[in-house]
Amino acid sequence: MMLLAGLTAVSTMSIAQIKMESNGDVIVGEHWGSSPSLEFDVRGQMFVSHVPRNGVSGWNYVGCYFENHSYTFGGSTVYRPILKPQWGNNFWLGNASSPFWRVYANEMYATAFNITSDARLKENFVPIETSLDRILKLKPYYFDYKFKPTEQMDDAMKQEIPASYKDHAGFKAQDLLEDFPKLVKYDENEDRYSLDYIGLIPEMVTAMKEQNQTIEELKQELEMVKGNCCSNTSPNPLQNDGKSSGGASDMLDASKLEQNQPNPFHQETTIKYYLAEQTNQATMYIYDMNGKQIESFNLREKRNQSLTIQKNKLQAGMYYYSLIVDGKEIATKKMILTE
């Protein structure tokens, strides 16, 4: 009775903090700029607003509230409760010193995601030195998440959620347990595996560095091959495409190399060439696209001749062949082997 009397008494104040409406609704606090019908407006210890309200809209009147949000889906109006910040969108969920421990969600949209990476907050650093072999073993998939509707879901939700569960790309967490165990998380309570996709980035960077080192080594080897072609009898397959290297004598200019036929070829192809009578030594070299010598053939017969190249152990791809006469490159041409 005393509480009821107190509530009735304060309801007569011009600006009531606690009052009871005629329909029995109890109002705690006064909503600025409107006449509340049913409201529990709390400040202070519950931190609904971070500064005392001063009756002026704007950044000084900031907090959060629930709203019965409506939107159209499938031609019908759908209502969902939504937690929204008030004016200015100036609202935080936790901070660096008091973060939320765990957040579960089906979909998240944001302008940016920042992962704490301050070196001062870390320890036990171990460099990642080899990743390429493990990265190459990954098996990416397109997939759909399984959906099990519940009785609490309305018809619109039963359509919306399955739509968001479809057409994803990623990995199976169990596939990474052996090679990337630090990136796979297991929730014992839910019996569920999760994958730290962000953690794959440093692994991929390490793999790229390994690949780059291999590329640089191959470049050095190729430069050595190119250097040898000019001082010895090894050709430079990447320098010319069917053109004479220039600077040869009249005797060398008389020697010629023709395009292989057929080109592309499947089982075998024929290379026609002409060797001048003055030729002392001639060799045909076959190189792959990286400049690695695959085969070489000593040519002894002069004038119009031909050489048949068999598929043998060659894999489908593009190759170079060069004619070297008395230490000089006559020409280099391309040939293509198909499956």
Cβ atoms of 334 and 318 within 8 Å: the answer is yes
How far, in Å, CA of 52 to CA of 54, rounded?
6
Beta-bridge partners for 169: 142
The least confident of 11-15, 270-274, 294-298, 307-311 is: 11-15
How far, in Å, CA of 23 to CA of 323, rounded?
103
**pLDDT at residue 184 is higher than 70:** yes
- Which residue, among 140, 128, 109, has the nearest Cα to 201 in the 3D structure? 128
Residue extent(s) of CATH 2.60.40.1930 domains in the chain: 233-337
**pLDDT at residue 28 is higher than 80:** no
pLDDT band at 254 (very low <50, low <70, confident <90, very high): confident
> Tens digit of pLDDT for each residue in 206-244?
999 999 988 888 888 777 666 655 444 444 444 444 444
The b/e string for 59-83 (b: 16+ C-beta within 10 A; e otherwise) is ebbbbbeeeeeeeeeeeeebeeeee
> Tens digit of pLDDT for each residue in 97-136?
888 888 888 888 888 888 889 999 999 999 998 999 999 9
Segments of 41-166 assigned E as strands: 64-73, 76-85, 141-143
3-state helix, strand, coil in the chain (%, to 5): 25, 30, 50
Tell me, what's the pLDDT at 136? 93
Instruction: Name the percent of the chain lying above pLDDT 90.
Output: 27
C-alpha of 92 from chain center: 29
- Which residue, among 218, 333, 224, has the nearest Cα to 287 in the 3D structure? 333
Tell me, what's the pLDDT at 106? 81
248 or 85, higher pLDDT: 85
Instruction: Say if domain 233-337 classifies as CATH 2.60.40.1930.
Output: yes
Mean pLDDT of the chain: 77
**E strand or H helix at 174, and its extent?**
none
